[in-house]
C-alpha cells in the first residue's frame, strides 16, 4: 500500500516537471506541465468570455502551473509576478460575486461597464510607466544579481510591456470592463512576436487561439453591455415617469 502511494506521488511530481515529455509537435518537445498549463489557460479565457465566475477557480490553478513552469525555466521575472496575478484573481473573484447594488445586472452579477476617454488614457499611461520601470530593472538584473542571472535579459522592455499589459488586462477583467479584451489582444499579439523570436513555435499557436477567444470575448461582452445599458435606460425612464405622477 505504501509502495503504491509512493508511486502515485512520484507520478504526480513527474507530471508537474518540464522533463516529463508527452509528445513532440513540429519538432518541439511538449511537457505534461506545458500541456496542462495550455489547457487551463484556454479554459480560463473561454469561461471569462462566457462571463462565468468559474474562470477564477481555473485561474488559480493556472497561476500555480505558470509559477512552476517559470521557476523550472528560471524565468524569474514572470515567476515573481504570478503572486501579483493571483492577488488580482482574488480581487476579481470578489468583485464578480459581490457587486454593489448599482453594479448588478439582471441576474445580480457584476455587469459589464466601460471607461471614458480620460480613464483609457490613464490606463495606457500606467502600462507605459510600468514598461519603463520594469524594463530597466530587467535590463540590469544580470549586473545587480549575477549569481542568479548570469546572462542579460532578452528584449527586457518588450517583455516588460507585455507583462504590464497582461496585468492591466487582468485588472480590467476583474472590474468587468469591456476594455480588458483590447488589452488581451495587444498582449497576445506581442506574445506571438516574442515567442517567435525566442523559437517557441507551439506558444505562438496558443497565443493565436487566445486572440480568437479575445475577439469572441469582446463581442460577447459588448452584447451584454448593450443589453444592460438598454435595461438601465428603460428603468430610469420608468422611474422618472413614476416620480412625475407623484
Question: Could you list the residue range(s) of the whole structural domain that residue 12 is in?
Answer: 2-97+117-245
Q: Identify whether 111 is part of a domain.
A: no
Q: Identify whether 104 is part of a domain.
A: no
Secondary element (H or E) of residue 41: helix 32-49
pLDDT averaged over every residue in the chain: 82
Number of domains in the chain: 1
Q: Identify whether 229 is part of a domain.
A: yes
Reply yes or no on whether the pLDDT at 149 is more than 90. Answer: no
Mean pLDDT, rounded, for 164-183: 92
Model confidence band, residue 37 (pLDDT cutoffs 50, 70, 90): confident
Q: Identify whether 209 is part of a domain.
A: yes
Q: Identify whether 102 is part of a domain.
A: no
Q: What is the pLDDT of residue 74?
A: 65
Burial class of residue 33 in the structure, from the number of CB atoms within 10 Å of its CB (0-12 exposed, 13-18 middle, 19+ buried): buried
Q: Identify whether 82 is part of a domain.
A: yes
Reply yes or no on whether the pLDDT at 1 is more than 70. Answer: no
Which pLDDT tens digit goes with each residue over 178-220? 999 999 999 989 888 877 776 666 667 788 888 998 999 999 9
Reply yes or no on whether the pLDDT at 168 is more than 80. Answer: yes
Q: Identify whether 108 is part of a domain.
A: no
DSSP symbols for 56-121:
HHHHHHHHHHHHHHHHHTT-HHHHHHHHHHHHHHHHHHHHHHS--GGGB-TTSSBPPB---HHHHH
Q: Identify whether 181 is part of a domain.
A: yes
Distance from C-alpha of 34 to C-alpha of 21, rounded to nearest angstrom: 9
Mean pLDDT, rounded, for 59-71: 84
Distance from C-alpha of 41 to C-alpha of 58, rounded to nearest angstrom: 8
Position with higher pLDDT, 72 vs 209: 209
Of all residues in the chain, the percent with pLDDT exceeding 70 is 82
Amino acid at each position: 500500500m505504501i509502495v503504491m502511494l509512493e508511486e502515485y506521488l512520484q507520478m504526480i511530481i513527474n507530471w508537474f516537471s518540464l522533463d516529463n515529455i508527452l509528445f513532440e509537435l513540429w519538432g518541439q518537445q511538449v511537457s505534461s506541465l506545458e500541456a496542462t498549463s495550455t489547457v487551463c489557460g484556454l479554459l480560463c479565457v473561454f469561461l471569462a468570455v462566457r462571463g462565468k465566475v468559474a474562470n477564477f477557480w481555473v485561474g488559480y490553478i493556472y497561476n500555480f502551473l505558470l509559477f512552476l513552469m517559470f521557476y523550472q525555466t528560471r524565468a524569474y521575472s514572470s515567476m515573481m509576478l504570478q503572486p501579483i496575478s493571483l492577488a488580482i484573481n482574488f480581487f476579481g473573484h470578489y468583485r464578480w460575486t459581490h457587486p454593489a447594488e448599482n453594479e448588478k445586472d439582471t441576474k445580480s452579477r457584476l455587469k459589464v461597464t466601460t471607461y471614458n476617454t480620460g480613464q483609457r488614457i490613464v490606463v495606457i499611461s500606467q502600462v507605459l510607466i510600468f514598461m519603463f520601470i520594469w524594463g530597466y530593472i530587467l535590463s540590469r538584473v544580470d549586473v545587480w544579481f549575477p549569481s542568479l542571472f548570469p546572462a542579460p535579459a532578452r528584449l527586457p522592455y518588450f517583455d516588460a510591456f507585455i507583462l504590464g499589459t497582461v496585468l492591466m488586462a487582468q485588472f480590467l477583467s476583474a472590474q468587468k470592463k469591456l476594455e480588458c479584451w483590447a488589452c488581451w489582444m495587444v498582449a497576445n499579439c506581442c506574445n506571438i512576436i516574442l515567442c517567435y523570436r525566442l523559437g517557441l513555435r507551439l506558444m505562438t499557436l496558443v497565443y493565436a487561439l487566445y486572440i480568437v477567444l479575445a475577439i469572441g470575448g469582446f463581442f460577447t461582452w459588448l452584447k451584454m453591455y448593450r443589453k444592460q445599458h438598454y435595461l438601465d435606460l428603460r428603468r430610469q425612464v420608468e422611474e422618472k415617469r413614476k416620480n412625475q405622477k407623484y
